[in-house]
Structure 1
């Protein structure tokens, strides 16, 4: 009973992650502003972390936890870099005569 429930939860989790990837992809393509696209990319990174955690549960391999940590760190740094890029670009546009 517990194994079938666990398998069902894993399948539902994978389907929800797939739906989240589609939603983030739509926001990346149709985002009205650069900030929307950056947030959607950050969301994709978090979905990758969740997928690595799900893979760790399914396979029992702790290496996926290390992958999740690496993806989370790179995603955070990329979001900070994109935010700085957007802020710098907005400042340069304001300074133009």
Structure 2
């Protein structure tokens, strides 16, 4: 019963994060909301895996967490430099 309530609370938080991702006034608000959606999805995977007694959902959650981290860093690098292939060492020295 307690884990079902946790799953419901995570779903409510997920709906709020998706609302922030849609309405966010800046790109950084949307990136943060997207990262929050990923984190909440991982938590939901863990809770559902526990409720259905399938521990392999934790492996899926860990993999999704790594993809979430890489995706967030890539988006932030793109918005900072305008290019994913940006290299700090190739800048001219002043």
Please, what TM-score do these two structures have when normalized by structure 2?
0.82
Of Structure 1 and Structure 2, the greater helix share is in: 1
Match of 1:37 in 2: 30
**Displaced runs of 4 or more, over 2 A:** none
Output the TM-score relative to the length of structure 1: 0.79
CA distance in 2, matches of 1:50, 1:26: 18
> Structure 1: where are the runs of 5+ without partners?
1-6, 90-97
1:61 aligns to what SS in structure 2? coil
Contact 1:35 1:86 survives alignment (8 Å): no
Q: Distance in 2 between matches of 1:62 and 1:22?
A: 25
- Cα-Cα RMSD: 1.0
Aligned pairs, number: 82
Q: CA deviation at 1:27?
A: 0.7
Is the aligned partner of 1:10 residue 2:29?
no
